[in-house]
């Protein structure tokens, strides 16, 4: 909320200083939260944090921002599917059955494991964040936050691969 309020302050004459302070506080809070979440290396916790963040972004996104709303909605839908994959991978027998439905060609695998909806969500979200990172005019502290979030998606995938390995062993 502080990030959004800060951006609003930037756009209001006479509120620039308050906006900057709010923006920086919001970024620092988000950095701290994403760092703590990434350190858990828990695939569920990491995508839950991203899901919560992008859900809030969608609520604050103006109706007129059609492209932004579409991107955020797509990300939320991808994470909804990722949560389902997390449920299935927890039951080894079910995941071994699911593995049989995924092509075994390298294009459809991540480090030898099925590129299921969890991987697809992480890969597409990482691409989305990288695209934002490359946008001109992004504040350096926001770039740092985007970097943390990108790293978190990689960490989430690594943790998920551990779960896949456990489910498929045996």
Evaluate whether residue 28 is within a structural domain.
Answer: no
Evaluate whether residue 151 is within a structural domain.
Answer: yes
Evaluate whether residue 52 is within a structural domain.
Answer: yes
Summarize pLDDT for 5-15 with one digit per residue, the tens: 655 655 556 66
CB neighbour list of residue 38: distance below 8 Å, 6 or more residues apart: 46, 148, 151, 152, 155
Q: What is the pLDDT of residue 26?
A: 84
Evaluate whether residue 19 is within a structural domain.
Answer: no
Evaluate whether residue 12 is within a structural domain.
Answer: no
Q: What is the pLDDT of residue 86?
A: 96
Evaluate whether residue 72 is within a structural domain.
Answer: yes
Enclosing domain of residue 79: 42-168
Evaluate whether residue 14 is within a structural domain.
Answer: no
Ranges of residues in the chain with a pLDDT under 50 are none
Evaluate whether residue 15 is within a structural domain.
Answer: no
Q: What is the pLDDT of residue 2?
A: 60
Q: What is the pLDDT of residue 56?
A: 92
Q: What is the pLDDT of residue 8?
A: 60
Cβ-defined contacts of 151-156 (< 8 Å, 24+): 151/38, 152/34, 152/37, 152/38, 152/46, 152/49, 152/50, 153/46, 153/50, 153/122, 153/123, 153/125, 153/126, 153/129, 154/122, 154/126, 155/38, 155/41, 155/46, 156/43, 156/46, 156/47, 156/122
Number of domains in the chain: 1
């Amino acid at each position: 909320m502080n990030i959004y309020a800060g951006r609003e302050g930037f756009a209001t004459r006479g509120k620039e200083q308050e906006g900057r302070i709010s923006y920086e506080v919001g970024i620092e809070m988000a950095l701290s939260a994403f760092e703590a979440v990434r350190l858990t290396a828990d695939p569920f916790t990491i995508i839950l944090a991203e899901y919560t963040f992008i859900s809030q972004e969608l609520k604050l996104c103006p109706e007129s921002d059609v492209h932004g709303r579409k991107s955020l909605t797509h990300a939320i839908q991808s994470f909804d599917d990722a949560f389902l994959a997390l449920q299935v991978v927890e039951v080894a027998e079910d995941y071994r059955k699911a593995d049989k439905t995924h092509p075994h060609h390298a294009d459809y695998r991540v480090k030898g494991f099925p590129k299921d909806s969890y991987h697809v969500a992480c890969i597409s979200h990482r691409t989305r964040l990288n695209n934002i990172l490359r946008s001109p005019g992004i504040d350096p502290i926001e770039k740092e936050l985007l970097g943390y979030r990108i790293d978190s998606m990689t960490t989430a995938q690594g943790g998920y691969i551990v779960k896949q390995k456990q489910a498929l062993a045996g």
